[in-house]
């Protein structure tokens, strides 16, 4: 039996980029793991958000939103183990242990830290201005998330590969000290099909750009965003190259193969207007995610039952983590 583990950092208002790029593929992998009899673990990495978000109400709100979102999108908490990171103290004991086997230079290389340093230098600030140890040690906590459960596979987006490599390095370093497999070396699995969906202005879809199509919006809200997708003013009948058209890239990222082919042909031949394509895209979005809103709102309105599920998940997680941690401590402390 393999253990497949993924963490989700809570980020606030979710959009179609999150859905098609992360949520949907992660849940599909979970269903595959469930069907194959593997152990599937998924958790909300709320302490990973703490390095930049200290507002208690806001932190709890985004944790709630992401937990309800994954459930609404089909994560099965009966079959997958689903918990809040902060409810599993074994992870944090292992974090403390791991610090002692982690070369400081390894953390210096972490891309989140390096990006923060680059920002400081660009502004003429001191190297470490405003950088807390939570940001610096981000990959260390993530290594503990993974290693506590003896994970075999960690499905991640490309931006997280480095973090799993750091977990491999730390595990390897600790194993070398004791000449035995204290920690299982995890493999990362890059989710190739998790493509980046462009936003309505052609940049990456992101809340900070104000170019998102909301995942749990009303039909009117989703329609407004879709109608706002930027288009050019080429003649409707002119044959066009679909690859140069933002609207087509959005269709490609969202719609099924039949609709995508139809739009491609309509653009190449000419005669299919952008308004028509936007209507087709809206219909596809509503077909695929339109039904999720109600389920999501229902979980949000009954968060106490969701919290019960998360507490159950934490219990299951701790039942795995505690004996793993005990074995590690036995090696270190005798």
Least Å distance, CB 48 to ligand TRP, is 5
- Closest approach, Cβ 110 to ligand TRP, in A, equals 11
| Shortest Å distance, C-beta 192 to ligand TRP | 16
- CB of 155 vs ligand TRP, minimal distance in Å: 8
Closer residue to ligand TRP, CB minimum distance, 7 or 77: 7
Residue with smaller CB distance to ligand TRP, 51 or 260: 51
CB of 304 to ligand TRP, least distance (A): 26
Tokens 């506590």 -> residue: 148
Cα distance between residue 281 and residue 288, in whole Å: 11
Tell me the C-alpha distance between 266 and 258, whole Å.
12
As a whole number of angstroms, the distance between CA 148 and CA 113 comes to 24
- Residue 27 Cβ, how far from ligand TRP at the closest point, in Å? 15
Nearer residue to ligand TRP within complex by CB, 189 or 283: 189
Identify which of residues 97 and 194 has a Cβ nearer to ligand TRP in the complex. 194
Compute φ and ψ for 294, nearest 5 degrees. -65, -45
Residue nearest to ligand TRP (CB): 7
> Least CB distance from residue 64 to ligand TRP, whole Å?
17
Cα–Cα distance, 27 to 192 (Å, whole number) = 15
- Report how far residue 152's alpha carbon sits from residue 41's, in angstroms, rounded to the nearest whole number: 11
Nearer to ligand TRP, 185 or 283 (CB): 185
Residue with Cβ nearer ligand TRP (142 or 229)? 142
In the DSSP assignment, the letter for residue 141 is H
- Residue 309: its H or E element: helix 303-333
Question: What letters, b where the CB count within 10 A reaches 16 and e where it falls short, cover 12-38?
Answer: eebbbbbbbbbbbbbbebbeebbeeeb
Q: Residues interacting with ligand TRP, by CB under 6 A?
A: 5-7, 9, 45, 48, 142, 145-146, 154, 156, 160, 163
Nearer to ligand TRP, 151 or 200 (CB): 151
CA distances (Å), origin 328, targets 5, 146, 188, 315, 333:
19, 14, 22, 20, 9
């Amino acid at each position: 039996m393999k253990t497949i583990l993924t963490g989700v950092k809570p980020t606030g208002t979710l959009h179609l980029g999150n859905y098609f790029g992360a949520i949907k593929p992660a849940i599909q992998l979970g269903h595959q793991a469930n069907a194959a009899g593997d152990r599937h673990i998924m958790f909300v990495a709320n302490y990973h958000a703490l390095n930049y978000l200290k507002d208690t109400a806001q932190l709890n709100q985004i944790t709630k939103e992401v937990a309800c979102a994954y459930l609404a999108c089909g994560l099965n908490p009966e079959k997958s183990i689903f918990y809040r990171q902060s409810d599993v103290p074994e992870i944090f004991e292992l974090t403390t242990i791991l610090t002692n086997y982690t070369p400081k230079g390894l953390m210096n290389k972490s891309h989140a830290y390096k990006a923060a340093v680059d920002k400081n230098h660009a502004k003429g600030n001191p190297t470490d201005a405003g950088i807390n140890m939570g940001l610096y040690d981000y990959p260390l906590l993530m290594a503990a998330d993974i290693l506590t459960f003896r994970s075999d596979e960690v499905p991640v987006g490309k931006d997280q590969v480095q973090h799993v490599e750091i977990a491999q390095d730390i595990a390897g370093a600790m194993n070398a000290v004791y000449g035995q497999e204290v920690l299982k070396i995890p493999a990362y699995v890059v989710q190739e099909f998790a493509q980046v969906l462009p936003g309505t202005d052609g940049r990456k879809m992101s809340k900070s750009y104000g170019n998102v199509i909301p995942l749990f919006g009303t039909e009117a809200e989703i329609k407004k965003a879709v109608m706002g997708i930027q288009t050019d003013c080429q003649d409707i009948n002119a044959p066009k190259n679909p690859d140069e058209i933002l609207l087509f890239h959005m269709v490609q990222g969202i719609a099924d193969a039949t609709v995508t082919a139809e739009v491609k042909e309509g653009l190449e031949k000419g005669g299919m207007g952008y308004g028509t394509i936007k209507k087709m895209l809206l219909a596809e979005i509503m077909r695929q995610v339109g039904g999720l809103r109600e389920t999501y709102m229902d979980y949000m309105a009954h968060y106490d039952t969701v919290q019960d599920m998360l507490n159950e998940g934490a219990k299951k997680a701790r039942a795995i983590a505690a004996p793993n941690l005990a074995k590690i401590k036995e090696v270190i402390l005798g």
